[in-house]
Amino acid sequence: MRDAPSPGSPGGTRITRTKEMAINTNDITTIEAVTAREILDSRGNPTVEVEVLLMGGAHGSAAVPSGASTGAHEAVELRDGDKKRYGGKGVLKAVANVQDIISDAIVGLDATDQATLDEVMIALDGTPNKGKLGANAILGVSLAVAKAAAAAQYQPLYRYLGGVSARTLPVPMMNILNGGKHADNSTDFQEYMVLPAGASSFREALRMGAEVYQALKKVLHDKKLNTNVGDEGGFAPSLKTNREALDVLVAAIETAGYRPGVDIFLGMDAAATELFENGKYSLAREGRTLTSKEMIDLYEGWINDYPLISIEDGLAEDDWEGWSLFRQRVGSRIQLVGDDLFVTNTQRLIRGIKEQSANSILVKLNQIGSLTETMDAIEMAKRAQFTAVISHRSGETEDTTIADLAVATNAGQIKTGAPSRSERVAKYNRLLVIEDELGAETARYAGFSAFYNVPGLYAKAEL
């Protein structure tokens, strides 16, 4: 017999089975048990891990990430609020909700009916932002169910979710220089990335990015700058200006023996909502306060001067008028990614499509809180000729679901940190495995074709 789950217990209970219980082949994808536990993420904060067991013996587990800079419109990540445990960041309430409430509702249902399962949990919560049960509870179950269903059908997750068309390996958007909330005493903007769009395979792209990462360490060391790393594995030097971050990245690309703007390009996440105060943007590092138009002027200057092809959250999450102007000014030349703007929410994405705000959506599973809703957002974006960038969070775990999701949806781009820190590298290594599984004849590296929203870049694609 399996160990009986202890509802609401801090550690949860690992599911085990006897050989006799696994023999029932008539209901192999029926959910038999659901349990959860409190674990730690990469920042040492608690998060939720869920395990799902099916009648046929298949098993799936998933760990939920969390963000440092979070959008106001994200689904609710349920925390305990008990200052005596983890400074109030414990997730025992979410664990209890999985074991006491969600489990009762879904045990006996078919794990392969993902949409129905997610609908059941959303209805059970009954709030517009999953504030009752917690998006961290619902998402953990949603992903664990999908993994168990895939295991029951002897399929890797990417094949189970995407079918035979799942074969595109994404361009890695590697955050190798951290600032903002991801690093103390660095730049105003949160992330500076390298994108090896000119590579011929994912394996080559990963190598190129890793070599630039190592070259950046040397460039910073030679400048006598700090080489400590931030939350996502990128370096966090104390730079004099925000522009200097782009300069050192270009230098690192060249030091590694690659051509900026040919082999490797630049991207950034401004996380501008964090800079927005009283209707303007405060760049404390440079002692400047800018309007939306002045921020766009700043970015346009950088687009002219650097091989910058992607800007995420260049303006604040509710600066809709500014976003429309942003796309009007530079949208044909660069990918404009909405993270806080859209929070993986189809209702906000619909508004963005109608108002021509941004031309890409960042996809974070825990922003919306279920696999079905996440995939709906990706499909909606594609239909509107928006790209979809599959993303990690700054507080990550060893869970590699997003690697499979990127391939399953043929998204073409993934953002999962620097080639450093095991919780980041785990996703890259999973993609290497997937590329090998698909084989050279089937696997396709997205390269420039990932940027179908930017005519100048897409024209370089070998279709």
Mean pLDDT of 44-58: 97
* Residue 321 sits in the same domain as residue 436: yes
Tell me whether residue 328 is in a domain: yes
Which of 11-25, 346-360, 439-453 is the least confident region? 11-25
In a domain, 197, yes or no: yes
Q: Are residues 376 and 238 in the same domain?
A: yes
* pLDDT score at 96: 99
In a domain, 8, yes or no: no
CA 155 from centre of chain:
23
The span from the CA of 36 to the CA of 100, in Å, is: 10
Taking residues 345-373, report their average pLDDT: 96
Within this chain, do residues 149 and 167 fall inside the same structural domain, yes or no? no
Which of 154, 188, 221 is the last residue in one of the domains?
154
**Among candidates 355, 345, 356, 405, which has minimal Cα distance to 380?**
345
pLDDT at 316: 97
User: Does 324 appear as a known binding residue?
Assistant: no
Which stretch of 18-32, 175-189, 255-269, 415-429 has the lowest confidence by average pLDDT?
A: 18-32
Query: Domain check: are 216 and 334 in the same one?
Result: yes
- On whether both 318 and 439 belong to a single domain, the answer is yes
Same domain, 195 and 69: no
Please state the rounded mean pLDDT for residues 330-345. 96
Confidence of residue 459 (pLDDT cuts 50, 70, 90): confident
Q: Is 224 annotated as a binding-site member?
A: no
- 252 in Cβ contact with 215 (< 8 Å): yes
- Residue 395 contacts by C-beta under 8 Å, 6 or more apart in sequence? 41, 42, 43, 45, 47, 65, 66, 67, 68, 231
Distance, C-alpha 260 to centroid of its chain: 25
CA distances from 3 to 38, 60, 385, 425 (A): 18, 17, 49, 33
For the chain, percent of residues with pLDDT exceeding 70: 92
Residue in 130, 364, 396, 423 annotated catalytic? 364
Q: Does the annotation place 424 within a ligand binding site?
A: no
**Is 269 part of any known ligand binding site?**
yes
User: Is 64 within a domain?
Assistant: yes
Which burial class, exposed, middle or buried, applies to 21 when counting CB atoms under 10 A from its CB (0-12, 13-18, 19+)?
middle
Comparison of pLDDT for 187 and 334, the residue scoring more? 334
Residue-wise DSSP of 17-34: --TGGGG--TTTTBEEEE
- Mean per-residue pLDDT over the chain, rounded: 92
Answer yes or no: is 292 a known binding residue: no
391 in a known ligand binding site: yes
Q: Is the pLDDT of residue 25 over 70?
A: no
Q: What pLDDT was estimated at residue 180?
A: 74
Share of the chain above pLDDT 90, in %: 86
Alpha-carbon gap, residue 123 to 285, rounded angstroms: 46
Identify the domain boundary among 111, 134, 154.
154
pLDDT at 314: 98
Q: How far apart are CA 60 and CA 64, in angstroms?
A: 13
Specify whether 91 is located in the same domain as 198.
Answer: no
pLDDT confidence band for 19 (50 / 70 / 90): very low
Please check the confidence at residue 118 and state whether its pLDDT lies above 70: yes
pTM attached to this predicted model: 0.92
Judge whether 105 and 120 are in contact, CB under 8 Å: yes
Same domain, 234 and 307: yes
Number of domains in the chain: 2
Q: Which pLDDT value is given to residue 2?
A: 40
In the predicted structure, residue 283 carries a pLDDT above the cut 90: yes
Q: Are residues 215 and 300 in the same domain?
A: yes
Say which CATH number the domain at 82 has: 3.30.390.10
Determine whether the annotation assigns residue 6 to a binding site. no
**Has residue 1 been placed in a domain?**
no
Report if residue 14 sits inside a domain. no
Task: Let me know if residue 13 belongs to a domain.
Answer: no
State the average pLDDT over residues 116-143.
97
Q: What is the DSSP string of 225-236?
A: ----B-TTS-B-
Note down the domain range covering 143: 20-154
Helical residues (DSSP H) of 21-175, grouped into ranges: 92-96, 103-106, 114-125, 135-152, 157-162
Written as one letter, the residue type at 177 is L
241 and 388 in one domain? yes
Residue 261's CATH number: 3.20.20.120
Select which of 232, 317, 373, 423 is catalytic.
Answer: 232
Stretch 39-62: mean pLDDT: 97
Confirm or deny that 356 is annotated as ligand binding. no
Annotated ligand binding at 339? The verdict is: yes
Residue 141 has pLDDT above 60, yes or no: yes
142 is in an annotated binding site: no
Helix (H, G, I), strand (E, B) or coil at 82: coil
Question: Would strands 288-290 and 308-312 be described as parallel, antiparallel, or unpaired?
Answer: unpaired
Region 198-217: mean pLDDT is 99
Q: Please determine, for residue 22, whether its predicted confidence score (pLDDT) is greater than 90.
A: no
Q: Is the pLDDT of residue 20 over 60?
A: no
Report DSSP state, residue 145: H
- Residue 185: what pLDDT? 60
Band (pLDDT 50/70/90 cuts) for residue 142 is very high
User: Which range (33-37, 120-124, 227-231) has the least confidence?
Assistant: 227-231
Q: Is there a binding annotation on residue 415?
A: yes
> 183 pLDDT band (50/70/90 cuts)?
low
Are both 285 and 361 inside the same structural domain? Answer: yes
Residue 69 labelled as part of a binding site: no
| pLDDT of 296 over the 80 cut | yes
Please confirm, yes or no, whether 364 is among the known catalytic residues: yes
Domain boundary residue, one of 137, 154, 171: 154
Residue 32 has pLDDT above 70, yes or no: yes
Asked, for residue 10, whether it belongs to a domain, the answer is no
Q: Which residues pair with 361 in a beta bridge?
A: 338, 388
- Amino acid identity for residue 113 in this structure: D
Model pLDDT, residue 463 = 57
Report CA-CA distances (Å) from 279 to 157, 243, 282. Answer: 44, 23, 10
147 and 174 together in one domain: no
Q: Which residue has the tokens 């927005």?
A: 276
